[in-house]
Every structure is written in structure tokens, then in C-alpha cells.
Amino acid sequence: MSIVEQARAWIAGDPDPETRRELEALLARNDAAGLEERFAGPLQFGTAGLRGLLGAGPARMNRATVARATAGFASWLLKQVPNARSRGIVVGRDARRNSDVFEREVIEVLSGSGIPVWVFSDVIPTPVVAFAVLKLRAAGGVMITASHNPPEYNGYKVYWENAAQIIPPHDRGIAGEMELAPPALAIPRVSVEEAERRGSLRKADALRGEYIEQIASEVPRTEGHPELRIAYTALHGVAEGTFRAVMDRACFGDVQSVSEQSVPDGTFPTVAFPNPEEPGAMDRVLDLAERIDADVAIANDPDGDRVGVAVRCEKGFEILSGNEIGILLADDLLSLRTGSGQPLVISTIVSSPMMGPVAASHGARWEQTLSGHKWIQNRALELMEEGLDYVFGYEEALGYAPSLAVRDKDGISSALRIADMASRLKARGNTLLDARDELWGKHGVFVDRQLSLKFEGAAAQARMNAVVDRFRDSAPDRIGGLAVVRTLDLDRQLQWTPLGVRPFADLPRSNVLVFELQGGHRLMLRPSGTEPKLKYYFYATAPRHADGGLSAAKASALAVLDRMVEDLRDASDC
């Protein structure tokens, strides 16, 4: 069909008058570019499910897309999980624009498939939904959220019956069923009111309290430890109440919030980009931390599955990188571990290689996966079946999983673990920065930097792939003045070394390139799976210098990092 015919067919099956009007206006003014963007192809299951701009058409998040995704999920689930109609599905939402509308769409389509739904009365953090899927032994879950993306986005996150996010073959299976689904208006559905009358809509509100009790109980308060003063922000998200309840239950001191960011608001009026990683996102909580003389500043992202941390230092507050938080948590949790069997820690391939020596120092097994906790958690389940004792998983993008009660990243339980660690360090007159420096003294200094290039328009994915292909086809033999000793191409599943080309099938196929450099340094690049960005990851390391100590080692590693970044800028014209 032509683009005009596609648009008219979509309008005929679209249940939402707002998005119908959007397409009709584009047709009326012959806006071919606008139509191309909305019909560039269906949204694909990426690192964290479906995610896209709000708007009309299959390449946008809208009621029709959500209805067809839910019909595909229900169809695939019923084929794969025979007792899904008795176990039900957990459904939750954040406070973004249309999250309530999309949640209703999910409930009605699932109900129309004969699958009962567990639902919360209000907005809920993503980790609570993941917890509920596991606790209720549900057949799966759906969370309506775009996590840390800007306000014009929304998304659709799917959990399987194992309470982890979907990976192959289930993502492909759901996508295939979604393609076979009829137009949204023709999908069978049962209204929320009728589902309530039939008793197939079940309240899950008690699971939030059970989550709070479970997470708080995993970190017993030690007598004699000084209380912390914590500055906190939920960045206009949905984590505020649950975070405070967990901290109150665990008795971790005085928590003061950024009041203007404490109420859920999907327009995010006081922050340009509601991601604690982004420059400026933590400015208000840092101002609060200064005013109240806080020990640490903590920020959750809008759906509560990520956490950013800043620590008081001589010059104010230092924001820890995602890798620094991950390594600190890994080392602390391994030190506290009491389980039997070999301990297991997992990180993604784009996270810090410092996890290797830290894990080895505790006799732990270290595994690496592709980006995303869907890979971390499913790999953890496989290895736990083999008898390993899962302790911790993390990705550098502020995503940490310290609890077996949540098979996904969890910014609330991670914040509690950080507070516990900071409290124990404070009792000795130390901070998280001292703990980081101590680890650097043991294992060498590891520093990192990330650059992201944003791509706009219908051809964004193709343009990102073209940049990666340019590096793939003309791979550098030196970066930052250092020889490339190994190149990994996870898409072609090949590796190049001075000894030649060999297969590399240790990880699933993905559009990721890894350049390992002389001296243990590393550069990686990949298109993001959650937003239209091409991401570059730089890692440099240096042993502690006997004469200059940590400061000299850090300066040495940062100098390597600077040269690597400069080389990349020249090579990619960015």
C-alpha cells in the first residue's frame, strides 16, 4: 500500500479520535514526511520493551499500538503458558501522559482474551510490578512506562512468567502475533467495568506493602550506626511514596525531599530530561543537599527503577558514575554475603571491566551480558539452576538489582543498599568516596566516560546503523595512540586479533562493536535500545603508582580517556 493508503487503513481501525485527527490533518496538508515518520515501521521490542514518541501510527505509542501489542502478548502467552487464564497478568503504570489510557487498553484487551488482570489503584513504581509478578506467580506482567525518557515518550514493558523481562524467543513470538492482530477496533475486549463485575479484575494494592516489607527486611539496621541525612528527589516520578516507606521501615535516618519534584507529573516541569545521568537533572536535589548539610543525595528516575547518587566531599558534592555505584554495591554485597555456593555477579558488556578483579577478590563468578536487565536476569536464572548463588547484577546506566525479590533493576532497593553502606562507612568516619578510593587502591583505577549522539526523524535507526557499519568496515587499528589488540563484532559474531579472525558466539547477536586496547583500555559503541541515540562507551585504567598514589593513577587513566575521546570525535565527525 502507498503511505496514504496505510494512513487511511490505520484511521479506520484506530479507536482514538485524537490520533485519527492527527493523521487526517497530515493527509489534508499532504505532509509526506510526517506520514513517513509515523509509518516508518512498527515499534520493535528493544532493551526495555516497546518505547516511542506519543502520536499516531505504528511507529508511535498510541492506543492502537498498545491494543495490538496486548493482543499479540495475550495470543503468544496462551500458546506458551497453558494456565495463563488461571494465573493472570499484573498491570501497572507510571504518571506519564496517556499512561492511564494505555493501562485501560491493556486491561480491556487482556480481559477480552479471557485473562484475569491484577491491577493497582494508582501509579506504581516499575520494581513493584516486577515484584508482584514473582510474588503472585502470575503468567506475566505489563508496565506502562517510558522510564527516564523525555515527556513526549511512553512505553510498554513486558514480563514473562519467570518475572523477568522478555528475551528471545518470546519477544519475537509476541511481535509475530502482533503483526497478525486485527486493527485495534476489531480486537475483542471487555470493559474495565464489566471485568470488575465478573471478578476478573483483581486488586494488587497489597503487593506494594509486601514489597516495602520485603525490601526493608533485607537490610537489617545495625545498632550504633549513625543516622544519615539524605536529600532525595523522585524527579516528578512515582517512586516518592514507596521510597520513603522503605526508608522509614528500615530506619535509615532523615530523608528530605525536593518538594517541587515530589508529586508525579508526566510533564516534568522542573527538569529538561528526567534521567539522573543527564547533566542538570540532579541540580535541585544537590541544592537541597547543600542546604540541609546532607551526607548523600539520591535521585530515582520517574518509574523508580534507576538511582543516581552524589556524595558530600570537600568541594560540595561529587556525583558518582553509574559504574562507580555498581562496583561499590557489588563489592559491599559480596562482602556481606552469607549464602552457600559460588557467588555470582553479572554486568553488561558496556559496563566497567573493574567488575572482573572485584569479583575475583571475593571468589565470585563474573558473567557479562548484552545491555539490559532482561539479559542479566534471565542469565542469572540459568546460572542459579546450575547452583550458583546470585548476589548482584548491574548496568552502567544507573540500573542495579540487589534483591532476589525483584528480577529487574530496582532503584528503590538499590537506594536502600546505598544508604546502608553509607551509614556503615559514616560510623568509621568514611564516605562512599573513601570506599571507592580503597577499591582503586586494591584493583587499580578504572575511569569511564560516555558520549551520546541523538538522531532525529524516520531514518534515525538506519543512520545510527550506518555509523556503526562505518566503524565495522573500516575498523581502527589504533585509538588514542594505543594499539587495538582485539575487536569484537557482536552482530557478525566475529573477533579480530593479531592472530587472525575467529568466531565469537559468547553473546547473542547485537549491533555492538568492542575495541580492546593495549593496556586494558576499551571503547564500545551501539545504538541505544530505549531512545534514538548512538552511544559510545570509553574505559581506561591505570595501576596505582607507588610514587604518586591514586591521584597520579587517576590522572594517567583520564589522560588516556581524553585521547580516546578525541580520536573518536575525529573519526566520527561529531
Active-site residue numbers?
Answer: 147
Element (H, E) at 175: helix 170-180
Cell of 94: 507510571
Say if CB 89 and CB 117 are below 8 A apart. Answer: yes
Question: Which residues, in sequence order, are bridge partners of residue 527?
Answer: 534
Assigned C-alpha cell, 354:
573493574
Beta strands in 169-253 (DSSP E): 201-203, 229-233
Rama region for 251: left / alpha / beta (φ>0; ψ in -120 to 50; rest): left
- Asked if 462 and 470 count as a contact pair (C-beta separation under 8 A), the reply is no
The DSSP result for 484-512, as a single string, is: EEEEEETTTTEEEETTEEEE--SS---S-
CB neighbours of 291 closer than 8 A, spacing ≥ 6?
none
The per-residue b/e assignment along 287-298, b for 16 or more CB within 10 angstroms, e otherwise, is ebbeeeebbbbb
- Tell me which amino acid residue 43 is: L
Handedness of CA 240, 242, 245, 247 (dihedral sign): negative
Contact 235, 301 (CB under 8 A): yes
Phi, psi (deg, nearest 5) at residue 187: -75, 130
Instruction: Please give the DSSP secondary-structure letter assigned to residue 138.
Output: -
Q: Are strands 478-479 and 445-454 parallel, antiparallel or unpaired?
A: unpaired
Q: Is the peptide bond before 58 cis (omega within 30 degrees of 0)?
A: no
For residue 285, give the nearest of 277, 296, 272 by alpha carbon: 296
Cα gap 144→117, rounded to integer Å:
14
Query: At 217, phi and psi to the nearest 5?
Result: -70, -20
Residue 259 contacts by C-beta under 8 Å, 6 or more apart in sequence?
none
CA dist 516 and 494 (Å) reads: 14
3-class DSSP assignment, residue 92:
strand
Please name which of 321, 309, 395 lies closest in space to residue 351, comparing C-alpha atoms. 395
Residue keyed to cell 541544592:
287
Report the SS3 class of residue 190.
Answer: coil
Long-range CB pairs of 106-109 (<8 Å, 24+ gap) are 106/66, 106/70, 106/142, 106/144, 107/192, 107/195, 107/201, 108/189, 108/190, 108/191, 108/192, 108/195, 109/67, 109/70, 109/71, 109/74, 109/187, 109/188, 109/189
- Name residues whose C-beta falls within 8 Å of residue 487's C-beta, 6 or more positions apart in sequence: 475, 495, 496, 497, 513, 514, 515, 516
